[in-house]
């Protein structure tokens, strides 16, 4: 896979949202750069970006609080929680 295989177009409103920490805006753009249904977890995102899990959790929380990210609990066939699905909205054009 090439390092540059597609362009990412975050909205100007998202990039300039002063209510969001820069780390949250960077994470939103990074998430936007991947295919829509790709699966990640917090430890993997932290490892791939060379930062701590708390930093990723705080950025995800900021995106959610600002309304750019929604999360939905995913249950297995036995009804137990198997994960969380995140969806970005208003980040990309």
pLDDT digits (tens, 9 = 90+) for 5-62: 667 788 899 999 999 999 999 999 999 888 878 888 899 999 999 999 999 999 999 9
52-84 confidence digits (pLDDT tens): 999 999 999 999 999 999 988 999 999 999 988
Number of domains in the chain: 1
| Residue 63 resides in a domain | yes
| Residue 93 resides in a domain | no
Quote the domain boundaries for residue 38.
12-88
Please provide residue 31's backbone torsions phi and psi, each rounded to the nearest 5 degrees: -60, -40
| Residue 3 resides in a domain | no
| Residue 71 resides in a domain | yes
Which CATH number do you get for residue 47?
Answer: 1.10.10.10
pLDDT at 1: 47
| Residue 2 resides in a domain | no
Say if residues 92 and 69 touch (Cβ distance below 8 Å): no
| Residue 7 resides in a domain | no
Q: Which helix (H) or strand (E) holds 45?
A: helix 42-49
| Residue 74 resides in a domain | yes
């Amino acid at each position: 896979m090439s390092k540059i295989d597609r362009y990412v177009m975050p909205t100007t409103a998202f990039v300039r949202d002063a209510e969001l920490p820069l780390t949250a805006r960077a994470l939103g753009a990074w998430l936007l750069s991947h295919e829509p249904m790709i699966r990640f977890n917090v430890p993997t995102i932290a490892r791939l970006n060379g930062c701590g899990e708390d930093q990723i959790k705080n950025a995800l929380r900021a995106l959610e609080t600002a309304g750019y990210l929604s999360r939905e609990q995913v249950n297995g066939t036995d009804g137990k929680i198997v994960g969380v699905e995140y969806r970005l909205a208003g980040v990309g054009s």
